[in-house]
């Protein structure tokens, strides 16, 4: 679907996957005016399809669009477009237990600009792909390295919105980490170089006894929908949840560390390397109890194996 600066999107159409034509002087190609989302569809054993909290993705795209000076689809337009795209691609949703269909909505400045300015026209696209586990480790623990040379986001920047440039800025740190054998990078804040932020594509949680702590959303990390959901699930299981500044030193004392995200779901962290020192977690010899419990609770909701008492799923 397309729209001008008035923000009124035309009706969308379903077209076969393939290259799209883009103006060489479009806002997205020249000035990074692009925003995306990510959500998943799961197939239930009765063959119906479940979406997980798609309105949350729609709302996050709207917040991000404001920051990027772009108009965005309404929540209703967004959710409707996701539903239609998934239904048209139903055969690509893997069988129950064999993965999910990853849904990627994209919003971009497609109109021509030469001097720096918001584009005069916008395009909203959704494409889908069947996926398995994000990390090759699956539910097995991942190994992270704390990066204090590179930062993902700075205060006042665009770290809290899902804009394409944020991902360009992490490519190099992630490449270096992977070359050294780590699964991903854990970023620290750019001001004090002391507080945990997030991983390249997921949020981070630190478990100590009955307390689960996670960095507060302060404008530099992405407010993950899985993060928000895990907080609610953890509270319902009588854990204490703290959203606050979490110092890198707390990694030394933690019982368990895990990451959350649409792609990674809940990924236990087996080790974190910081300033050359490797901190290992119990999870490295298996999966930590808390991580496993939260993984099971969340995935059984997402896959429709537990009663949806929070009204989080949309059945197609």
Enumerate the active-site residues. 162
Contact 79, 37 (CB under 8 A): no
Q: Is 119 helix (H, G, I), strand (E, B) or coil?
A: coil
Nearer to ligand PMP, 93 or 264 (CB): 264
Asked if 261 interacts with ligand PMP (CB under 6 A), we say: yes
Q: What does 141-165 look like in DSSP terms, one character per residue?
A: PEEEEEESSS-S--TTSSTTS-BHH
Give dist(CA 258, CA 214) in Å, integer.
10
Please report, as residue ranges, which positions from 180 to 219 form the binding site for ligand PMP (by CB under 6 A).
198, 201-203
Q: Which of 26, 123, 262, 273 binds ligand PMP (CB under 6 A)?
A: 262
Residue that is written with structure tokens 């490295």 in the block = 284
Contact 204, 217 (CB under 8 A): no
Asked if 227 interacts with ligand PMP (CB under 6 A), we say: yes
Residue that is written with structure tokens 């896959």 in the block = 303
Nearer to ligand PMP, 32 or 38 (CB): 38
Nearer to ligand PMP, 26 or 291 (CB): 291
Beta bridge partners of 313: 52
Site size toward ligand PMP, by CB under 6 A: 13
Packing angle, helices 75-88 and 54-67, rounded to 10: 130
Only one of the segments 100-108, 110-118, 225-233, 308-316 lies at the binding site for ligand PMP (rule: CB under 6 A); that segment is 225-233
Asked if 225 interacts with ligand PMP (CB under 6 A), we say: yes
Nearer to ligand PMP, 38 or 99 (CB): 38
Q: Which of 163, 226, 273, 302 binds ligand PMP (CB under 6 A)?
A: 226
Only one of the segments 77-85, 256-264, 268-276, 299-307 lies at the binding site for ligand PMP (rule: CB under 6 A); that segment is 256-264
Smallest distance from the beta carbon of 230 to ligand PMP, in angstroms?
9
Asked if 269 interacts with ligand PMP (CB under 6 A), we say: no
Residue that is written with structure tokens 């929908």 in the block = 225
For residue 129, CA distances in Å to 72, 98, 105, 138 come to 23, 13, 12, 18
Nearest partner of 181 among 266, 259, 273, 281, judged by Cα: 273
Give dist(CA 25, CA 109) in Å, integer.
10
Nearer to ligand PMP, 26 or 313 (CB): 313
Please report, as residue ranges, which positions from 132 to 161 form the binding site for ligand PMP (by CB under 6 A).
none
Rounded to 5 degrees, what angle do the CA atoms 92, 97, 102 make? 40
Please report, as residue ranges, which positions from 16 to 45 form the binding site for ligand PMP (by CB under 6 A).
38
Smallest distance from the beta carbon of 15 to ligand PMP, in angstroms?
25
| Residue numbers at the binding site for ligand PMP (CB under 6 A) | 38, 198, 201-203, 222, 224-227, 260-262
């Amino acid at each position: 679907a397309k729209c001008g600066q008035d923000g009124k999107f035309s009706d969308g159409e379903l077209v076969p996957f393939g290259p799209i034509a883009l103006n060489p002087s479009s806002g997205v190609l020249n000035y990074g005016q692009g925003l995306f989302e990510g959500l998943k569809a799961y197939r239930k054993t009765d063959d119906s399809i479940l979406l997980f909290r798609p309105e949350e993705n729609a709302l996050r795209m709207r917040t991000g669009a404001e920051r990027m000076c772009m108009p965005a689809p309404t929540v209703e337009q967004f959710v409707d477009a996701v539903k239609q795209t998934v239904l048209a691609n139903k055969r690509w949703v893997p069988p129950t237990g064999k993965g999910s269909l990853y849904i990627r909505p994209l919003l971009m400045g497609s109109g021509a600009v030469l001097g720096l300015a918001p584009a005069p026209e916008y395009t909203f696209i959704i494409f889908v792909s069947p996926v398995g586990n994000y990390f090759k480790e699956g539910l097995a623990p991942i190994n992270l390295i704390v990066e204090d040379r590179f930062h993902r986001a700075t205060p006042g920047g665009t770290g809290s919105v899902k804009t394409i440039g944020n991902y360009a800025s992490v490519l190099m740190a992630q490449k270096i980490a992977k070359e050294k054998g780590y699964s991903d990078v854990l970023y620290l804040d750019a001001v004090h170089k002391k507080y945990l932020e997030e991983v390249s594509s997921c949020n981070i949680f630190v478990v100590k006894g009955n307390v689960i702590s996670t960095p507060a959303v302060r404008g530099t990390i992405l407010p993950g929908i899985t993060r928000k959901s895990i907080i609610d699930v953890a509270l319902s299981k009588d854990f204490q949840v703290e959203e606050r500044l979490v110092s890198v030193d707390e990694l030394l004392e933690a019982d368990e560390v895990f990451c959350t995200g649409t792609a990674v779901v809940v990924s236990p962290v087996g080790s974190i390397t910081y300033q050359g020192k490797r901190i290992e977690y119990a999870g490295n010899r298996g999966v930590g109890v808390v991580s496993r419990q939260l993984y099971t609770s969340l995935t059984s909701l997402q896959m429709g194996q537990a009663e949806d008492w929070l009204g989080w799923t949309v059945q197609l």
